[in-house]
């Protein structure tokens, strides 16, 4: 492990009745390091952290037809050799119908810099019909998502290692051993449902 390592974490969902998967990617940079932990250990801690946050603060308000299948992660430096794959299998907590699988709520990650290379975004799994009205997400669910993202922007393992969420810019990176990243400073949760047709992983 080394200071400024970048961990790429993929949160993988399945949706009942649909082929393929929805993947939300979160990138973290090691900004404080105790020097006593390995890359594999920190990846495992990040995966456990994300599982806990998703299960506590987001999945209870997603449809029962949505399942968090696994969390995959790797360290960008070192050629991605250090990796983790955590099986989860936890479903959402809201029974009933949900919106079409290729429609999604969009969360934009902002770093304070302009340009596509300095922004990121996630497309959430399908929402329950009860959480939207005519393509507009109800205010209560928007608040849940805002609180959830505020809770995962930083991870402190309590042992001297601190990870901050960043946006990694592959187009600006010449050498992955020294990746170009910018720390996420704000989230914009769009209350209008968008489309993920080109981002549906099959």
pLDDT digits (tens, 9 = 90+) for 9-51: 999 999 999 988 999 999 999 999 988 889 999 999 999 999 9
Position 202 confidence tier, pLDDT thresholds 50, 70, 90: very low
Q: Is the pLDDT of residue 185 over 80?
A: yes
**135-168 burial, b for 16+ CB within 10 Å, e for fewer?**
eebeeebbebbeebbeebbebebeeebbbbbbbb
Q: How far apart are CA 80 and CA 102, in angstroms?
A: 30
A 10 A CB-CB count for 127 gives: 24
**Residue 61: which of 92, 32, 15, 34 has the closest Cα?**
92
Contact at 8 Å (CB) between 88 and 72? no
Q: How far apart are CA 116 and CA 109, in angstroms?
A: 11
Q: How far apart are CA 83 and CA 106, in angstroms?
A: 27
Position 1 confidence tier, pLDDT thresholds 50, 70, 90: low
Token output for 40: 């594999």
Token output for 50: 């994300």
Residue whose token pair is 């940079």: 29
Q: Per-residue pLDDT tens for 99-116?
A: 998 899 999 999 987 777
Kindly give the interhelix angle for 39-57 and 139-152, rounded to the nearest 10 degrees.
160
Provide the pLDDT for residue 117: 67
Contact at 8 Å (CB) between 27 and 165? yes
How far from 65 is each of 15, 50, 73, 96, 191, CA to CA, in Å?
A: 6, 20, 24, 9, 21
pTM for this one?
A: 0.93
Q: How far apart are CA 46 and CA 175, in angstroms?
A: 24
Q: Per-residue pLDDT tens for 108-140?
A: 999 987 777 678 999 999 999 999 999 999 999
């Amino acid at each position: 492990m080394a200071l400024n390592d970048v961990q790429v974490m993929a949160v993988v969902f399945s949706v009942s009745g649909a082929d393929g998967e929805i993947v939300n990617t979160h990138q973290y940079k090691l900004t404080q390091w105790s020097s006593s932990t390995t890359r594999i250990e920190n990846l495992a801690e990040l995966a456990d952290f994300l599982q806990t946050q998703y299960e506590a603060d987001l999945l209870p308000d997603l449809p029962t037809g949505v399942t968090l299948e696994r969390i995959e992660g790797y360290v960008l430096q070192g050629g991605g050799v250090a990796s983790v794959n955590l099986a989860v299998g936890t479903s959402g907590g809201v029974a009933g119908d949900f919106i079409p699988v290729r429609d999604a709520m969009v969360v934009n990650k902002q770093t304070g810099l302009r340009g596509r290379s300095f922004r990121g975004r996630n497309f959430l799994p399908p929402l329950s019909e009860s959480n939207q009205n005519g393509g507009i997400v109800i205010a209560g669910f928007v608040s849940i998502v805002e609180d959830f993202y505020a809770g995962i922007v930083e991870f402190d393992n309590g042992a001297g290692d601190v990870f901050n969420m960043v946006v990694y810019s592959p187009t600006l990176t010449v050498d992955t051993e020294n990746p170009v990243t910018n720390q996420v400073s704000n989230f914009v949760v769009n209350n209008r449902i968008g489309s993920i047709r080109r981002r549906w992983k099959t």
